[in-house]
Structure 1
Amino acid sequence: MNTLSISSPFAHRNAPDLSQASPDPYATAAQSAAVLRSGAQYRRERMEADDMITTDDAALLAGASRVTINAWIKSRRCIGVSHLRRGFKLPRWQFEPNLWPILQPLASALGASDGWQVLTFLETPASALDGQTPRAALEQGVSAKHILALATAEAH
């Protein structure tokens, strides 16, 4: 019988242990609520990480206006995740020359509707990359074509 297992970065250290086999293959309401809480906690922690910047900081870094950064987020040209208070937070590293050109095609390959999907893909270790994250693989010279193929496969 199948049991629910979690294998994403949203599987936070406070997430419930769902590895115990039970007669019911579905998560209980309490287990589902705990997973959602741990995902929310992960998102809060990720947005507060040192590599996350505001749209104002991104505008300075990219030599653009905040309005332009917001338009880039909307068009999926860059990764922006909704900030709990207001606006967006963006990973600073996405503006590096080896990552910047792949972001919009990557979002399209994933069928991403928000920045979290792209960020999660880039920061989740992949067995096809020998356990590296796609971001690290790109930084170490793996071709964008290979990463896009992985994203396309993941989306299907």
Structure 2
Amino acid sequence: MLKTLEFIACHLPRVTANEVLRFSDTVEIRDAQAFAAELEAFVQERLESVELPSSIEIEVETVEQTLARKAAALRADIRWTPGETEIQRGRAAMLEAFEQSHNLPLPDFARLANKSRQQIYKDIDAQRLLALNVGRRGQRLPDWQLDPVKQRLTQAVLQGAPGLDPWTLYRALSEPLEGLDGRSPAEAVAADSVDAVAKAVFNVLGVELDSGPRARKR
């Protein structure tokens, strides 16, 4: 804590030789530089000798303290939680996406993939296939995964960002991206662009790849 006048004294500009020339009509100044130094010392002594009430004290913040204070001002006292209306709207939007024609029930996907249901379940557990789930309505799989190239992209995203939920990954893969000329990653990917499109998806998700095959949250 610094007293107000002490703080001011520490930050006053120094008296210069040119400035003391204003007194030349009143006193004879033989050495302007020496006079400026003496005047500077005199002002500092007078300021430091003044005692102020503690109520007028000010605190000098560090950069860290300033940032912490500003961050605290942006933080809500009560954590936001979605109300019943928001929950209902979110569930309705999820159900609408779940029932899109390109999201196939698991038995239909297994038949078109020429695989058993058990194998599809294994692929889902091993993060080779993306599956969506809404309550007790069973699982549905985006039909783009029937294409080997698109399935490679989906698998790369699943295994590169294992901590993210399937719905987040689904939207990142199925919604248009400006960097892909307005096409979704699932639409834009080709055999020679799987890695590049997967990187675009990771950028949208806010994750970056480590030196290994997985990604981490930024």
TM-score by length of 2: 0.52
- Taking the TM superposition and a 5 Å limit, the aligned residue runs for 1:2-151 are 32-33=82-83, 34-138=85-189, 143-151=193-201
Distance 1:144 1:48, change over 3 A: same
Segments of 4+ moved more than 6 angstroms:
24-28
Structure with the greater alpha carbon radius of gyration? 2
Structure (1/2) with the larger helix percentage = 2
Distance 1:82 1:35, change over 3 A: same
Unaligned runs of 5+ in 1: 1-23
Distance apart, 1:99 and its partner CA: 0.4
Two-structure CA RMSD over aligned residues (Å) = 2.7
| Distance in structure 2 (CA, Å) of the matches to 1:123 and 1:109 | 17
Q: Identity, % of aligned pairs? A: 24
| Distance in structure 2 (CA, Å) of the matches to 1:36 and 1:98 | 36
TM-score by length of 1: 0.70
Greater relative contact order structure (CA < 8 Å, 6+ sep): 1
- Can you list the C-alpha shifts for 1:34-56, whole angstroms capped at 9, x where unaligned? 44332211110111111121111
Unaligned runs of 5+ in 2: 1-73, 208-217
